[in-house]
């Protein structure tokens, strides 16, 4: 893991271009990555062919990739999707597409990169509208916020994709996604214990900066508030 550059190309090397990078990441969140989701039977799957995730494979979550917004589903197809960075207000939306069965639905998401096993190096986007899924995203966001308060040099959680479940009185057992954090690494993928050159000037990562910490704190707060009903403003 120490040799894997997890998010070296994420565009977050300095505070100067942090804001621009975050906007760019949000705009291109789905580019070059596959969709990751949990199937109804509790399996984690990815891609159009619904490949099953390798058991116990490890995935790094980009702490600057959290997004929120809305999605409109038709008959098994996406009719509209509007997402933006979690630290900014939810994007404005107008009327939902006429064929949308549930109108605009609240959605949150994040980006991950596989760092072990057969799928190492693959990037994926996880987006979810379910209550259980949003709670899983909230939980890992809170874990990141707590981590950067203790060690801002290692803000990236490396997780194993797990599943929980609850019993629904009408639909039976419902599976829910869970992110089990197994360790924390830097944005470059380095583990915490690394030799340090005492003569070299310290280089602050995006998460170490005041702006980076504010972003992560706001992201966690926004996710906690995402279940609160809000008036959806019409685009002028």
pLDDT tens across 57-112, in order? 999 999 999 999 999 999 989 999 999 998 889 999 999 999 999 999 999 999 99
Q: Is residue 129 part of a domain?
A: yes
Q: Is the pTM of this model over 0.85?
A: no
Q: Is residue 32 part of a domain?
A: yes
pLDDT tens across 8-44, in order? 544 443 333 444 443 444 444 444 589 999 999 999 9
Q: Is residue 24 part of a domain?
A: yes
Between 202 and 146, residue with greater pLDDT: 146
Q: Is residue 101 part of a domain?
A: no
Q: Is residue 83 part of a domain?
A: no
Q: Is residue 10 part of a domain?
A: no
Identify the sign of the CA torsion 206, 6, 88, 226: negative
Contact between 102 and 75 (Cβ < 8 Å):
no
How many structural domains comprise the chain?
1
Q: Is residue 79 part of a domain?
A: no
Between 4 and 169, residue with greater pLDDT: 169
Contact between 127 and 198 (Cβ < 8 Å):
no
pLDDT, averaged across the chain: 80
Closest alpha carbon to 28 in 125, 107, 138, 104: 125
Q: Is residue 33 part of a domain?
A: yes
194 CB-near residues (< 8 Å, 6+ apart): 2
Contact between 38 and 133 (Cβ < 8 Å):
yes
Between 214 and 176, residue with greater pLDDT: 176
Contact between 11 and 21 (Cβ < 8 Å):
yes
Domain extent at residue 183: 18-64+113-191+203-226
Between 119 and 213, residue with greater pLDDT: 119
Residue 192 tokens, joined = 């915490």
């Amino acid at each position: 893991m120490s040799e894997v550059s997890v998010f070296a190309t994420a565009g977050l090397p300095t505070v100067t271009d942090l804001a621009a990078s975050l906007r760019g990441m949000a705009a291109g969140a789905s580019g070059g990555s596959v969709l990751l989701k949990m199937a109804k039977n509790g399996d984690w799957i990815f891609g159009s062919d619904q490949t099953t995730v390798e058991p116990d494979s490890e995935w790094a979550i980009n702490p600057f990739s959290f997004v929120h917004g809305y999605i409109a589903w038709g008959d098994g197809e996406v009719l509209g999707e509007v997402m933006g960075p979690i630290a900014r207000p939810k994007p404005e939306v107008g009327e939902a597409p006429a064929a949308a069965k549930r109108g605009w639905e609240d959605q949150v998401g994040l980006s991950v990169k596989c760092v072990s096993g057969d799928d190492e190096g693959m990037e994926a986007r996880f987006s979810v509208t379910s209550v259980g899924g949003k709670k899983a995203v909230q939980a890992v966001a809170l874990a990141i916020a707590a981590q950067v308060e203790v060690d801002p040099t290692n803000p990236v959680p490396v997780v194993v994709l797990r599943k929980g479940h609850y019993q629904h009185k009408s639909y039976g057992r419902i599976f829910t996604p869970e992110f089990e954090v197994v360790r924390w690494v830097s944005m470059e993928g380095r583990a915490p214990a690394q030799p340090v050159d005492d003569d070299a000037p310290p280089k602050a990562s995006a998460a170490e900066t005041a702006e980076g910490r504010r972003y992560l704190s706001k992201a966690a707060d926004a996710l906690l508030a995402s279940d609160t009903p809000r008036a959806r403003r019409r685009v002028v």
